[in-house]
Amino acid sequence: MKFFTTLVILLLFTTILPAQNKFTLSGVVSDGDNGETLPGASITVAELPGSGVSSNGYGYYALTLPEGEYNIRINYLGFNVTEFRLNLNANVVHNFKMKPQITALREVEILSVQRNNNITSDEIGVQKLQVKEIKNIPVFFGEHDIMKTLSLTPGTKSIREGNGGLYIRGGSSSHNLIMLDEATVYYPHHLLGFFSTFNSDAIKDITLYKGTAPAEYGGRISSVMDIRMKDGNNQHFGVNGGLGLIASRLTIEGPIVKDRGSFLISARRTYIDMLLKLVPDPALNSNTLNFYDLNAKLNFKINDRNRIFLSAYSGRDAFGVPTRMGLDWGNRTATIRWNHLWNEKLFSNTSFIYSDFDYNVDLFFDASTYSILSKIRNYTFRHEFQFFVTDRSTLIFGYATSNHTITPGQLKTIEGATVQPVKLQDRYSKEQVFFISNQITPTPNWNINLGLRMNIYDVYGPGDFYTYKNGVVTNTETFNEGKKVKAYRYPERRLNLSYIFDKKQSLKFSYASNMQNIHLISTSSASLPVDIWIMSGNNVRPQISDQFSLGYYRNFNDNMFHFSAETYIKWMQNQLDLKNGANILANEHIEGELLFGKGRAYGLELMLQKKYGKLNGWIGYTLSRTELKIPGINDWNWYPTRYDVTNDFSIVGIYDLSKHLSFSATWVYQTGNAVTFPTGKYEIDGVIKYYSDKRNGYRMPDYHRLDVGLTWNFKPKGKYESSLNLSVYNAYARKNAFSIDFEPDPVDPGKTRAVMTYLFSAIPSITYNFSF
């Protein structure tokens, strides 16, 4: 109750301040070379320390000040600082077209950003990346990958090769909300997790919130990953791309009408299957293994107050072995957005969003052939306002509604098959949210961000809905179309506080509660898209988390070195896990295979980052623990999740050998994740069966790997620019365990041996990049 009282008082206070003869400076901050808007640009006033605003996600800003003369400064990563003198005696519209620095990125940062922004902002547990920041980091097969780069930062983990999921502050990969231009991407991986679905050539920037996202975000209990596509160059036509060993990409962009509209089309495809056709072995050259991505975007400025955006994504994988199996999966998204400026201080965005994900598994046997299908789809309407109240207060509020449809699984067979076809009933739900937040700077030393998000979730028919007790159906109810089955209401609270001791150090605190109504049921530790999405309902309650975070930030040596220490603790309710031996594929009673309990996660994240100069990079360390306590598992004792990794250590370094040549390296080390190994065995009809009496009671071997890269930027020839990247993934050929299986020892069948499988050792790659 105290929280709500404080929230109401602060919101009212910031909206009833007297005008005091104030005027508003507003406009859009953009890249002067290509017209791309610049979200997060800092607009400050030299005469008023502590005042200022940041441009929103569309580059728009509004700064309300008393009448007078001011020196306005605009900062943005990779661009020259822009300054101008303003005599403010009326409302002024001023659009800033910033000029990129032409020197190396590391030197750009010295001049172009507020170098202590990590100290002065209220953000805690937030990681921001621009694609140009990761272009020299060595990666798998030379494909620059924003998600792989994020996994090198504290609090964000990936586990072994073949598992592309990100595990953030004690959450599973399904606890992350991943959005591409506001549309949910349910399965963000290609090629069994070795690549993400995001083609870096089409991406502008990414912001990761590790548990404490603003109130306008929600729907997951661990993190939010907000990925924004480029708008397209509205000044001139351009082409860029890259040629690699297993994949190539091409991007075309240009103006529709100069300064008013632009388009972008970006495509990427692997050609592993084409290379396999060159192999003489029929067992290999007939296999299928490929993926593609296609990104497209249009935007047009109708007038000074209205602008529209249309963006779309389609990506798909195919993997198959003739006469044995086939697997294909893919995501599709589409977003239509309308920006409207009601007046100088009130900005709105209206979005219509579509997203879906589906997979299809074909299995071939002598007696039968069958296919397993699953799909999730949603339509969303979102209307958001941003009100720049004063130079020290910004109010964000809005409404969103989503209709979800899940096909949990279908089993299709051919005529005469020994397996009978199964069609599970689709499930339908509607999720509505109302949100409001206020970012306040009451004094130059204090930053406060208060937020409230009201989640209203309803499950609807048609369908048969079961009630279970100990996995047995005790009741069945049939609901007609549109009939409400179950309803949940939950207020999600957000609070960020930061205290700035001086220009070199600050202390920050945050609290966030989150609710999740879409759940992923998984039995595989590899990145295979054969898991099942289910909704909250009469058996499965929404997952809920409460996270507290505390962080200390300190800069050294004229802001060249940034140090941060963040600690968190998170409690989770209504956590899900499977019974031993559970079957989830095409199972009408999958909810009866689930067990429910609680979870907890806590950890410490340390990071030392060198931001500027010829040598830059970071050292990151995470000490963490994630555990569940669920009746029916491990005698109702706490046990680690399978993505629990106690120690995670990473080093990233990039060194400019010359103006055109740079060397980079990354080294990662993890203690083994929790895993279930057999504790005994028995024999049935001559077949050895293994059993375990302890869930996740053992650990995989420790994981470590060194990647190195060399990038040569060739001298430009007119408008044509190019570079060559050479890299080696796993340079010292460490044989990291992918899986460990148990089998009878062939020498002494009475004994059991453990057999480790690894995927590969050292992998060299070469990629040629170009633009004109």
- The pLDDT tens digits for 663-687 are 999 999 999 999 988 888 888 877 7
Give per-residue pLDDT as tens, 107-157.
333 333 457 778 888 889 898 887 777 777 777 666 778 888 899 999 998
Report the distance separating Cα 620 and Cα 648, nearest Å.
8
In this prediction the pTM is 0.91
182 Rama class: left (phi>0) / alpha (psi -120 to 50) / beta: left
More confident residue, 115 or 216: 216
Tokens 């409302």 found at = 91
Q: Is the pLDDT of residue 25 over 50?
A: yes
Half-sphere exposure (Cβ direction) of 145: Cα atoms closer than 13 Å? 20
Beta carbons of 124 and 549 less than 8 angstroms apart: yes
Q: What is the mean pLDDT of residues 404-431?
A: 82
Beta carbons of 540 and 591 less than 8 angstroms apart: yes
pLDDT given at position 131: 78
Report the distance separating Cα 313 and Cα 268, nearest Å.
12
The chain-wide mean pLDDT, for the chain, equals 87
Residue 659 CA, chain-centre distance (Å), reads: 33
Q: What is the mean pLDDT of residues 290-307?
A: 94
Q: Would you call 147 helix, strand, or coil by DSSP?
A: helix
Segments of 391-445 assigned E as strands? 393-413, 422-423, 427-443
CATH topology of domain 126-771: Maltoporin; Chain A (2.40.170)
More confident residue, 134 or 68: 68
Nearest to 610 by CA among 656, 549, 568: 656
Give per-residue pLDDT as tens, 29-56.
999 888 899 998 888 888 887 778 889 9
Report the distance separating Cα 725 and Cα 135, nearest Å.
10
DSSP for residue 220: -
Q: Which residues are paired to 562 by β-bridges?
A: 555, 609
Question: For the ranges 103-107, 331-335, 367-371, which has the lowest average pLDDT?
Answer: 103-107
More confident residue, 17 or 382: 382
Segments of 611-675 assigned E as strands? 615-629, 639-640, 647-656, 661-670, 674-675
Question: pLDDT-derived band of residue 183, with 50, 70 and 90 as boundaries?
Answer: very high
Q: Where are the domains of the chain?
A: 20-114, 126-771
Report the distance separating Cα 554 and Cα 551, nearest Å.
10
Please calculate the CA angle 31-34-39 and round it to the nearest 5 degrees. 35
Beta carbons of 218 and 229 less than 8 angstroms apart: no
**Type and span of the H or E element at 285:** helix 282-285
Architecture of the domain whose range is 20-114: Sandwich (2.60)
Report the distance separating Cα 497 and Cα 175, nearest Å.
25
Q: What is the mean pLDDT of residues 255-267?
A: 95
Amino acid, res. 554: R
CA torsion angle for 651, 652, 657, 659 (degrees, to 10)? -160
Question: pLDDT-derived band of residue 209, with 50, 70 and 90 as boundaries?
Answer: very high
What number of other Cβ atoms are within 10 A of residue 657's Cβ? 12
pLDDT given at position 119: 84
Q: Is the pLDDT of residue 106 over 50?
A: no
Nearest to 673 by CA among 577, 580, 743, 738: 738
Report the distance separating Cα 145 and Cα 729, nearest Å.
14
Question: pLDDT-derived band of residue 7, with 50, 70 and 90 as boundaries?
Answer: low
Question: pLDDT-derived band of residue 367, with 50, 70 and 90 as boundaries?
Answer: low
Please calculate the CA angle 597-602-604 and round it to the nearest 5 degrees. 165
Residue 42 CA, chain-centre distance (Å), reads: 24
Entry field: residues in the chain:
772
φ, ψ of residue 666 in degrees (nearest 5): -135, 140
What number of other Cβ atoms are within 10 A of residue 687's Cβ? 7
Report the distance separating Cα 97 and Cα 93, nearest Å.
13
Report the distance separating Cα 640 and Cα 355, nearest Å.
33
Give per-residue pLDDT as tens, 683-708.
887 778 888 888 899 999 999 999 99
Question: pLDDT-derived band of residue 646, with 50, 70 and 90 as boundaries?
Answer: very high
Report the distance separating Cα 209 and Cα 38, nearest Å.
19
Q: Which two tokens stand for residue 578?
A: 């499977």
Report the distance separating Cα 644 and Cα 717, nearest Å.
51
Beta carbons of 34 and 42 less than 8 angstroms apart: no
pLDDT given at position 110: 31
